[in-house]
Structure 1
Amino acid sequence: MVAYELDLPNKLASMHPVFHVSMLKKCVGDPISIVSLEGLVVKENHSYEEVPVEIID
């Protein structure tokens, strides 16, 4: 069995830092759910402003 221990930041200290490789699953992406990063601006404090793209209903 292979396991990895993550070096988590202090704010995530309540999470268990070890995960087992056997629990990983292949990610099958859905091309429809891919979000374009064009126009996305991330500020220095790692925040961003959400701008609606389309009104669905």
Structure 2
Amino acid sequence: MKSKPGSTEPDLHSQLESLFDQVWRSEADWRLWDRLDAAVMLESLRAKRAGRLPDEKAA
């Protein structure tokens, strides 16, 4: 569906492409944060196994 001549509004196809682009970028950000969370969790587990967590030494 095309927009009216002279209209500054994008057509539905352009709006859908823009929406998909926004979703794909958000998913990429979520995957990045998931990887960061996993890396922090693994490092915490390694530190705990090695017995060098600061919380354990203070207690």
Output the TM-score relative to the length of structure 1. 0.16
Determine which structure has the larger helix proportion and give its number: 2
Give TM-score, length-normalised by structure 2: 0.16
For the pair shown, the structure with the greater C-alpha radius of gyration is 2
Higher RCO (CA < 8 A, seq sep 6+): 1
Bigger strand share: 1
